[in-house]
Amino acid sequence: MTAARPTATGTPGYTETMPCEPKSARRARLLVSAVLNTWGIGELAEVGVQIVAELVNNSIDHTRCRSVRVLVTRPTEGVVRIGVADTCRDTPEVGSPDDDAEEGRGLLLVDALSWRWGYDRKRWGKVVWAEVEVPAEC
């Protein structure tokens, strides 16, 4: 694991690389919570930690990656973007689970919690991201 560090250029943000294993979801939740509190928008932490947990778990469950990179950025004052990068080029797909299914709802939850979500293909893999709007009073 690398320590979380702020981005040096571009939009404000923090990134951290962690192993692609279940215990990393906890570390990712802590990172998102700390960043949102640092930016003075801690009221978004509950939503943010749920989103990042789902995105990290998707990488763990659906790729053979050895590590994931969590990115928390603020592309504008009114938006926080939470992303998870991995080396798998397969695109994420929203599941359509049966009512009694125990899995397959991760991206449905991300869709419900975020303003919008998507993915960016890269030469080395992809970044799956979700954006949350910052309340105007923040």
Domains of the chain as residue ranges with CATH: 5-133 (3.30.565.10)
pLDDT tens column, 38-94: 999 999 999 999 999 999 999 998 888 899 999 999 999 999 999 999 999 888 877
Give CA–CA dist 87/126, Å, rounded: 6
User: In this model, does residue 102 exceed pLDDT 80?
Assistant: no
Average pLDDT over residues 22-28: 95
pTM attached to this predicted model: 0.86
105-133 burial: b if 16+ Cβ within 10 Å, else e = ebbeebeebbeebebeeeeebbbbbbbbe
What's at 27, amino acid-wise?
Answer: R
Q: Where are the beta strands (DSSP E) in 1-124?
A: 5-6, 13-19, 67-76, 79-86, 116-122
Q: How far apart are CA 76 and CA 124, in angstroms?
A: 26
What Cα–Cα distance (Å) separates residue 72 from each residue in 15, 57, 95? 6, 17, 25
Decide if pLDDT at 106 tops 70. yes
How many H-runs (helices) and E-runs (strands) does the chain carry?
A: 3, 6
